[in-house]
Structure 1
């Protein structure tokens, strides 16, 4: 588990109690990747990065939210025609089709566009200076380990929360609109000194803390200590410390809301039926009067 805020300390082998409040309902074991997590870059991609003589910006907005064909084409035109940066842009298959790119990876002098790009390994390269990200949990984990400042464009779920954390800790800036016109001045601001070096320093501090927690090895130790009774799990959390509702309460409240909506709909239908019946009755009465 990666935590860019405060995290509870864990000392393997010592009998201790955790999960004792809503603030510590999860035990952080940090993040310590290996060669399987971040495999070496392919030669073509590595050579391209080595030749870059300007800042390289990596863009990846995940696989769920996609740009329209027009938005994709407009962004592609700007990225390939500008001369201030190099860009690597990870896209989805529909976006690749919209750009009429038939190969899996498109490579030009200053732009790479492709699917299934090795994000973690790319971010590790020293010539990558910034990461434009949707703030998915894995992406934040990758960028913290690589110590790369971010330009955030969050989508849904936990992404806005993670974006807020990054921006509030001065590890990056929020991109309000995903267009090149909006992106360029913010990239300039992030890369300006001493701002850039200060952001990198703050991220490196967080990364060192994550590494010190031990990663997967500590995770295994936590599990073993729970099983063997050295780490006591206290499940009695004060309800006042819990944000949200327990499942039982949530189901009960949802049922009440559903019933209220059903009654409202039935009431509206009853009123409509009454109005229509009155209109029909009035017309029939008028017709009978004319007949008489």
Structure 2
């Protein structure tokens, strides 16, 4: 009898379960914060009772940084689909495991960065499409939702081919790889990469530069999309391949890391969701004995936390030496996340670690400064923990993020690598630590950030489950925004009609006036002749 009751209970639980089958597609060109944050979303979905399948290359789990950050085995948490990739040499690969390739991107214009990334984008798409076992598994799995990083293109095709709702995630914030993919901005509003130091109040010259760069980037993406679609169609997926380019017309939601405290106000459609800082810890983990002792020994001077993200953990000797000498000149203890050869000039006050509990360190009251590349995660950590920063950006979204912290929030200063010397970096760090205005501004911004109506993690889960419940969220997307052609969107057809109408009206008036004048002159002439 007890066994029968147990079976009935299990049947009821299954009947009312909200468990869904979700395909998670991180951006796999070597381990970085983009992968880490998408996997965090996957773990949140697991905790909510959903079945999550992660699709990655067969090489990602072999990377040392992946093992340090995520553990040695994804299969212990997720169901994993691995598409096959050819053997590659880490020293020459176009991947984040190749430091020389990463360094080639430093301070390059956005259009140049797209040319550098074109082959990795294409390879990811090609390798995934060529693995038929993976596609057979996708077809058999009957997924309820695809959650994909915007830098992964095959999920867009999968969404269209199998009619699965798609959520696209942007790790960077209010921008997308393809200019105006989503969210769509009017050209009067600056895109994040055109260039980073532009604000939402541009001069006439800046507006010209903004439009020229926008058109340049759109042309690059036009050619890239044509190439991607051609590759996809060769594998027999037909018209679904066009969704690689047109996914902005079909996605259910576009999720991005954005918050009013740091980013400029802008109008967004209902399907564009801000999930600001969802990856931050809900509860800070206490420091272990080693780091607690470091904090105690630092005394009243406190510590400086230095990190340049997952992709700049190995710097060239000249650059790393500049940092080492500047850190050595500070009275604070410096904890530096770095795994390259120990640089020359390293001081006794500098502790070098391959990996450390960054959030726990930033949350500690002894932390006086965060020296950072201003990646997406570092941006929100500095904001959340009200930590003054010295930003040293390298590429992609980092100059944009540093500019927002140092010019909008005014919680620190930016030092460009091209202009950086040890002396300049040291003076900048001393200024930010000694001037209380930077800390006060950081506190103000943190207060705004924390004043949210709903926790970002809960917001994220709400909207994902909203899409699952309604089998998509196309009703939130504007068809007018996406389907109006260029002339309709910018009202050029109406303006043309108005101009033509005015010209016609002006022409008619001119003819009438001319006729009247001729008539009056003729009558006057006739009258003069009679007289």
Confirm or deny that 1:202 pairs with 2:444.
yes
| Structure 1 residue 27 displacement after superposition | 0.8
Whether the 8 Å contact between 1:86 and 1:110 is mirrored in structure 2 is yes
Confirm or deny that 1:220 pairs with 2:461.
yes
| Structure 1 residue 127 displacement after superposition | 0.7
Whether the 8 Å contact between 1:21 and 1:238 is mirrored in structure 2 is no
Q: How large is the RMSD of aligned CA atoms in angstroms?
A: 3.4
Residue 415 of structure 2 aligns with which residue? 175
| Structure 1 residue 109 displacement after superposition | 6.0
Give 1:29's match in structure 2, choosing from 247, 261, 275: 275
| Structure 1 residue 91 displacement after superposition | 0.9
Confirm or deny that 1:164 pairs with 2:403.
yes
- State how far apart, in whole Å, the 2-side matches of 1:237 and 1:157 are: 31
| Structure 1 residue 179 displacement after superposition | 3.6
For residues 157-206 of structure 1, the C-alpha deviation after alignment (integer angstroms, 9 at most, x for no partner) is: 11111122212211221112444311122122222344133222223223
Residue 394 of structure 2 aligns with which residue? 155
**What SS does the aligned partner of 2:272 have?**
coil
* 5+ long unaligned stretches in structure 2: 1-255, 485-531
* 5+ long unaligned stretches in structure 1: 8-19, 101-105, 242-292
Structure with larger RCO (C-alpha < 8 A, sep 6+): 1
| Structure 1 residue 115 displacement after superposition | 0.7
Confirm or deny that 1:90 pairs with 2:337.
yes
Whether the 8 Å contact between 1:4 and 1:206 is mirrored in structure 2 is no
Confirm or deny that 1:59 pairs with 2:301.
no
Residue 42 of structure 1 aligns with which residue? 288
| Structure 1 residue 77 displacement after superposition | 4.1
**What SS does the aligned partner of 1:131 have?**
strand
Whether the 8 Å contact between 1:131 and 1:150 is mirrored in structure 2 is yes
The normalised TM-score by structure 2 is 0.37
Runs of 4+ aligned structure 1 residues displaced above 3 Å come to 20-25, 29-35, 226-232
- State how far apart, in whole Å, the 2-side matches of 1:202 and 1:123 are: 17
The normalised TM-score by structure 1 is 0.63
Q: Larger deviation: 129-138 or 39-48?
A: 39-48
Residue 264 of structure 1 aligns with which residue? none
- State how far apart, in whole Å, the 2-side matches of 1:171 and 1:24 are: 31
Q: Within 5 Å, give how 1:114-133 maps onto structure 2.
A: 114-133=353-372
- State how far apart, in whole Å, the 2-side matches of 1:167 and 1:83 are: 21
